Structure 1
Amino acid sequence: MTAMAPARSAPDLSYLLDHTSHVLRTRMAAALAEIGLTARMHCVLVHALEEERTQIQLAELGDMDKTTMVVTVDALEKAGLAERRPSSTDRRARIIAITEKGAEVAKQSQAIVDGVHQAALDALPKDEAEVLLRAMNRLVTEHLATPAEAPQGVRRARQKS
């Protein structure tokens, strides 16, 4: 007797969200690459233009680890779009300052990002796009607002050799 897979009792929301998110990210990456940016570079440019922020604050906003953030800022500096400077409020802290060229590129990249998002919404009838946005916003602010704590794996003590 062959075992059968259990029948689903609910739509596979994980697949639907993962797949659409993955495809949207690849389209975003391709569109931003046309002006020499990555999504992370765009994220840093926009958030650093909003207010004076440190590398650590920008990394948190962009959900980047320290190493990725350093590589991203290095690339922005090399392209002449940003520079590390002392903070105006705390001499010990260093902020990421966006150059004039960087501000111009940020305008371009924001238009690209908005265009990719709008194209996805335009693929739906207007009423469905509105319902999707309302539902997604409700999920991210209510039921799916906070990630579950990741279960900690049991660690065994290292064996002395």
Structure 2
Amino acid sequence: MGFMTAMAPVRAEPDLSFLLDRTSHALRTRMAAALSEIGLTARMHCVLVHALEGERTQAQLAAIGDMDKTTMVVTVDALEKAGLAERRPSTADRRARIIAVTEAGSEVAERSQRIVDGVHSAALESLPATERAALVRALRNLTEGHLAETVEAPSAARRARQ
């Protein structure tokens, strides 16, 4: 046994970060592939669905989708170019601009939601039935409990590119 091997720390807990990152990455890539078949990105889907829920500004939608301003502008530009959404003055505040989904956008959102649900369903159905509800419950408990608050990381730690 080499010197380095003998000095390696013993992992006392499963590598939760790796497991969640790997799961998240695999879901994101499958989602991207499935949505690309109807000409959407996951961000475009996110904006369409949340804009359909009610009058929302670009800034509000960016916060919901965890997008920076530049990414949001590019996403809305793509939706406008495809005829799926448009920027309009808000009915509540004429100075504010909201993202309004077109009739075509509404139909695409229906299709994209079925695709997203299908990707999630396929992942869950790959587990034994007894584990499905437990996994979702455990993840929900983490995101709404212990991991609900994000901690501001030092500037040296960069967030993985989405």
Normalised TM-score (structure 2): 0.92
Structure 1 unaligned spans of 5+: 154-161
Larger radius of gyration between Structure 1 and Structure 2: 1
Q: Which residue matches 1:111? A: 114
User: Which residue type is aligned with residue 14 of structure 1?
Assistant: S
Aligned to 2:89: 86
RMSD: 1.0
C-alpha separation between the residues in 2 aligned to 1:152 and 1:97? Answer: 36
Hey, what's the Cα distance between the residues in 2 that align with 1:101 and 1:130? Answer: 35
Q: How many residues align?
A: 153
Q: Identity of counterpart residues, as a percentage? A: 72
Query: Cα deviation per residue 1:109-158 (whole Å; 9 max; x = unaligned)?
Result: 000000000000000011101110111111111111111122357xxxxx
**CA offsets per residue over residues 41-88 of structure 1, 9 Å max, x none?**
000000000000000000000000000000000000000000000000
TM-score, L = length of structure 1: 0.92
Q: Which of 5, 13, 16 is residue 13 of structure 1 equivalent to?
A: 16
Equivalent position of 1:2 in the other structure: 3
Q: Which stretches of structure 1, 4 residues or longer, exceed 4 Å deviation after superposition? A: none
User: What is the SS of the residue equivalent to 2:47?
Assistant: helix
The code of the aligned residue for 1:31 comes to A
Distance in 2, Cα, partners of 1:102 & 1:152: 38
Which residues of structure 2 form unaligned runs of 5+?
A: 157-162
